[in-house]
A and B are shown apart, each in its own frame.
Chain A
Amino acid sequence: MAALVVAEHDNAALKPATLNAVAAAKEIAGEDVDILVAGKDCRAVAEAAAVVAGARRVLLADDGAYDHGLAENVAPLLVRLAEGYSHLLAPATTSGKNLMPRVAALLDVMQISDISAVVSPDTFVRPIYAGNALQTVQSKDPIKVITVRGTAFPPGEATGGSAAIEAIAPTGSVGLSEFVRAELSKSERPELTSARIIISGGRGMQSGDNFHLLEKVADRLGAAVGASRAAVDAGFVPNDYQVGQTGKIVAPELYIAVGISGAIQHLAGMKDSKVIVAINKDEEAPIFQIADYGLVGDLFRILPELEAELERRQ
């Protein structure tokens, strides 16, 4: 048994989600975990992957065809490498979700999406129905193609390993698709999926401008800022803020939901947080049922007060 983990990166840095996927891979394949870095001018990423604790080997496929991780080009590479592995894993990020089913279909196997536990090398637990049920599935396929729910696998150590980096031949471009441009959100704050504290706003925030009330509290706490679908749909904040069933899955130490009612689709993305705080003016809001600490009241009064109190007690 051996597992290959597809590294998440931007050609410059290895993204933390990779470490969660490596943790899942280790549960399956023990010492025999390799990491694939496919990109362009991404040697630095391979070097970061090589020191990940428990990595056996790093495969580096450096080629223009892999620059933006286009699934059409990367999938054939994984198909070629699949021969040497029993398991192919990627983090359940938008890039992992985009790539892995394409690989699975080319290998004629079912993907096991978004696993939250490893029962045995062929049996896994995965959430269905927005996490309102947990399904245990056994794969009958010769090779397991898996995406990993990061919040379910504590990340392994980013350093301490000493894997060899092996450059591998690229498969080239299949010429079906091209990258045009990216409009990425820039923020000094921590990334949502790896933040220790998150404060999220919903429709109750009323406007994008009002998010600065949240941001001030976030700055006091070193928190990331998230949102409900309603806040994104209304244009208050960009799409990458969305937490939920069809957005980002997060499980920080502390999640503060402000002006969010607590629809199941939102809960799906945050209910595994260690501590949940809800601030809402409607005491019947469903979010209070899962909150460890609920505060009923007007967020426009509470947020400035919270900021001041945090400052006072710092």
Chain B
Amino acid sequence: MKALVAVKRVIDYNVKIRVKADKTGVETANVKMSMNPFDEIAVEEALRLREAGIIEEVIAVSLGVAQCQETIRTALAMGADRGVLVETNAELQPLAVAKLLKAVILQENPEIVIIGKQAIDDDCNQTGQMLSALLGWPQATFASKLKISDGHAEVTREVDGGLETVAIKLPAVITTDLRLNEPRYASLPNIMRAKKKPITTTTPEALGVDVTPRLVVLKVEEPPKRQGGHKVGSVAELVDKLKTEARVI
């Protein structure tokens, strides 16, 4: 069996983002970029399945500008076997990403597709669900535990009320939640080794996918700022302020 993971290049989660003055988007020039944290969890899970002998190969796919190569290299350094870059300068929205991933999947035939539950830039939380719909496959979103046995997966999901476990047929799409695993760091030798692993490049045109955005971004603005920073000196003062000033208790 093969596993395919999607890895998105996003602004690093530690960066305090800045909205561009002309309101067209967020400043990305000279900003640290990293792999979407949920996708690191996806790569880790696929590697563990390979180490457990359940799958043979892990393919990492990224979609976007040429620099997404670096994100694929990170996945390869963690241990993925090879990469696929769908290169484009066009803005990609989840529906287009799902269609492109579907096209790659139809070429690669993986039995398990693991992707992040949410990209921390667009906060969409859509791609995995869309991809499984387009493929006609089952979906197990927000996974915190994954067990694979003879053509099935048993997946525990993080839901609002607690945990829910579902059984799905393979092939399937699984999206990762934070508690699924703790991703490994790439060691220096593995980073060196990753430089020799193959990455094939394709394009939306070659895959026959129209990626025209369906949502037009009219503007991007900063949210209203909160005025905070007041301190109180004691518990008694706090309770007093909450009762008489804020009137919330």
Contacts and interface: CB of A to CB of B under 8 A. Distances in A.
Interface string B207-239: 000000111111111110010111110111011
B13 interface: yes
Interface stretch (A38-46, A58-66, A67-75): A67-75
Contacts of A309: 235-236, 239
A197 B248 contact: yes
Contacts of B215: 110, 112, 137-140
B178 interface: yes
A229 interface: yes
B94 to A, nearest CB: 7
Given A106-B133, A128-B122, A232-B179, A277 B242 contact: yes
A238 interface: yes
B170 to A, nearest CB: 10
B242 A254 contact: yes
Interface stretch (A157-165, A203-211, A285-293): A285-293
Contact of A110 (B93, B163, B228, B236): B93
Contact of A129 (B26, B131, B163, B218): B26
Interface stretch (A25-33, A47-55, A81-89, A90-98): A90-98
Given A102-B133, A137-B218, A309-B239, A132 B228 contact: no
Given A101-B129, A111-B126, A128-B121, A179 B161 contact: no
A98 B127 CA distance: 11
Given A132-B17, A140-B214, A105 B98 contact: yes
B238 A177 contact: no
Contacts of B172: 176
Contacts of A123: 218
A189 interface: no
A288 B228 contact: yes
A287 to B, nearest CB: 9
B246 interface: yes
A131 B220 CA distance: 11
A185 B248 contact: no
Interface string A109-120: 111111000000
Contacts of B242: 254, 275, 277, 293
A264 interface: yes
A213 interface: no
A274 interface: yes
A71 to B, nearest CB: 6
Contacts of B166: 70, 177-180
B139 interface: yes
A113 B123 contact: yes
Contacts of A95: 159-160
A185 B133 contact: no
B69 interface: no
A295 B234 CA distance: 7
Contacts of A137: 215-218
B120 interface: yes
A134 B222 contact: yes
B205 interface: no
A66 to B, nearest CB: 14
A239 B179 contact: yes
Given A239-B162, A265-B13, A101 B246 contact: no
A193 B161 CA distance: 11
A66 B220 CA distance: 38
Contacts of B121: 128-129
For the complex of A and B, 8 pairs with smallest distance between CB atoms:
A101-B129, A105-B130, A176-B138, A101-B126, A105-B133, A110-B214, A180-B165, A290-B228
5 contacts: A128-B122, A133-B220, A254-B246, A292-B246, A295-B232
Given A137-B218, A138-B218, A293-B232, 18 more contacts: A71-B141, A101-B94, A104-B95, A110-B213, A111-B94, A128-B122, A133-B17, A135-B219, A138-B216, A139-B215, A177-B139, A181-B164, A182-B164, A183-B165, A185-B162, A245-B123, A292-B246, A293-B238
Interface of A: 68, 70-72, 75, 93-95, 97-106, 108-114, 123, 126-141, 176-185, 193, 197, 221, 229, 232-233, 238-240, 245-246, 248, 253-254, 264-265, 271, 274-277, 283, 288-296, 302, 305-306, 309-310, 313
